[in-house]
Amino acid sequence: MNDAQGAEPAAVRRSRTVLVSFFGSVVRKMGNWMPIAGSVELLSLAGADASSVRTAVSRLKRRGWLAAESRAGTRGYVLTATALEALAAGDEVIWHARQPADLADGWCVVNFSVPESARAKRHQLRSHLASLGFGNIGSAVWIAPARMLDAARRAIGELELTDSCAVFVGEYVAGPRLRDLVGSGWDLAEIDRQYRKFVDAHGEEADRLAARAVIPGQEAFVRYLSVVDHWRKLPFRDPGLPPEVLTEDWSGPAAVQVFERMVATLEGRALAYAAGHWPGDGDGRRDG
């Protein structure tokens, strides 16, 4: 998902990223609606500054992500169709690294020729493709596993650059060794380093939490939102590349295992605690 960009204080930017994680991992599971006061309290517990959260909410409301709506006498916001579409598109990127692409499915190739008069859009398209996990293998040539076709089409369409972009899907049949080509298109060492940092940060914690019989609700919520927010940032440079083009010690699968263990341990407890901040203790509001 592409978060809002622009000059903004670091505290607001941090609150915005945590807020987007909160939307995706909590609010959608609570019927796509959130109480203002309860959400600010929850996010404050997770370390976000309350005033920055309110500022981030205001900015996302202006972007059309939120619409004011009171329920049971409680002021709140509902996620709009715009927000839900963006979150769903983000899901495709955020979760796909958990399941590597099948090499036999081929590759999506984007080649664009954007005139100098549209230089700003050209820069935006590069940023969009990079954030979707595409790798740059030549002048204005970007590739990713074939399953990223729809995401690429959306990014190109949003910028109204369809007539300036040629998009192909097919297999790689000749040229440099595929592993070398992939190595030139992605900073695999940095992606691997970030996965290893995730394992180092949460691996032992996942073991300790899984062994505990009782985890207080507030602790579960804080840890859950923290790990989701950390994980959410990782796959935006990794499109879930096929194992055949990666080294045998690639740390992505280990990071996935840690993340899934943390979610399995914490999610139910975290959502039950969050529900207590919804009117009526969240009764009947949680999906699934």
Tens digits of pLDDT across the chain (288 residues): 444 444 555 656 677 889 999 999 999 999 999 999 999 999 999 988 899 999 999 999 999 999 999 999 999 999 999 999 889 877 776 665 568 899 999 999 999 988 777 788 888 989 889 888 899 998 899 999 999 898 899 889 988 889 889 999 999 988 889 999 999 999 999 999 999 999 999 999 999 999 999 999 999 999 999 999 999 888 667 888 999 999 999 999 999 999 999 999 999 999 999 999 999 754 444 443
CA torsion angle for 236, 240, 244, 247 (degrees, to 10)?
A: 50
> What is the torsional sign of CA 8, 13, 16, 17?
positive
- DSSP strands (E only) in the chain: 33-35, 66-68, 76-79, 107-112, 135-138, 141-145, 165-170
> Where are the domains positioned within the chain?
10-87, 107-170, 188-282
The 3-class SS string of 9-26 reads CHHHHHHHHHHHHHHHHC
- Which residue in 69, 72, 166 sits closest to 112, CA to CA? 166
Choices 1.10.10.10, 1.10.510.10, 1.10.3720.10, 3.20.20.70: CATH for 10-87 = 1.10.10.10
| C-beta neighbour count of 79 within 10 angstroms | 22
Computed on alpha carbons and rounded to an integer, the radius of gyration of the chain in Å comes to 20
DSSP state of 7: S
Q: Quote the pTM value.
A: 0.83
Q: For 107-170, CATH number?
A: 3.30.70.240
CA 137 to chain centroid, in Å, comes to 24
Cβ atoms of residues 39 and 165 within 8 Å:
no
